[in-house]
């Protein structure tokens, strides 16, 4: 997602998928493909090195699961303490959330 309007649409009407380290806000889109937006506040992740690591992991995980995701806009919101998790735990948590999103927004579940 690129524009403030895209983000605002998701914030206004989204379904939240929560994990202790992050929240995913999800809303169906009309673009026909899944899109990802990232928000990592300095207040929650102090070091830029850690913010960049987490963003990289989220993007990589999203790209690997993109084929299985429905046409949705997803905003990744980092919570305090996510920088304490190692890469494998973050990847594992994201993979689980992508599956939950796919199940929730699949055409046969309405």
Q: Say whether pLDDT at 93 is over 70.
A: yes
What does the block give as tokens for 42? 């300095």
Q: What pLDDT does residue 21 have? A: 97
Q: Say whether pLDDT at 110 is over 90.
A: no
State the fold for domain 4-104.
Answer: Ribosomal Protein S5; domain 2 (3.30.230)
How many residues would you count in the chain? 110
**Closest residue by Cα to residue 56 from 25, 91, 24, 106:** 91
Q: What pLDDT does residue 109 have? A: 52
Tell me phi and psi for residue 20, to 5 degrees.
Answer: -55, -30
Q: Say whether pLDDT at 103 is over 90.
A: yes
Domain ranges of the chain: 4-104
For the stretch 23-78, pLDDT in tens is: 999 999 999 999 999 999 999 999 999 999 999 999 999 999 999 999 999 999 99
Q: What pLDDT does residue 92 have? A: 98
What does the block give as tokens for 30? 């009309």
């Amino acid at each position: 997602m690129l524009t403030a309007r895209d983000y605002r649409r998701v914030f206004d009407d989204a379904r939240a998928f929560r994990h202790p380290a992050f929240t995913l806000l999800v809303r169906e889109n009309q673009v026909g493909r899944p899109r990802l937006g990232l928000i990592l506040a300095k207040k929650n992740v102090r070091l830029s090195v850690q913010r960049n690591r987490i963003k990289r992991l989220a993007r990589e995980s999203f790209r690997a699961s993109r084929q299985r995701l429905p046409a949705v806009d997803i905003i990744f919101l980092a919570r305090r303490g996510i920088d304490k998790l190692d890469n494998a735990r973050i990847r594992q948590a994201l993979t689980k959330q992508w599956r939950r999103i796919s199940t929730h927004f699949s055409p046969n579940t309405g």
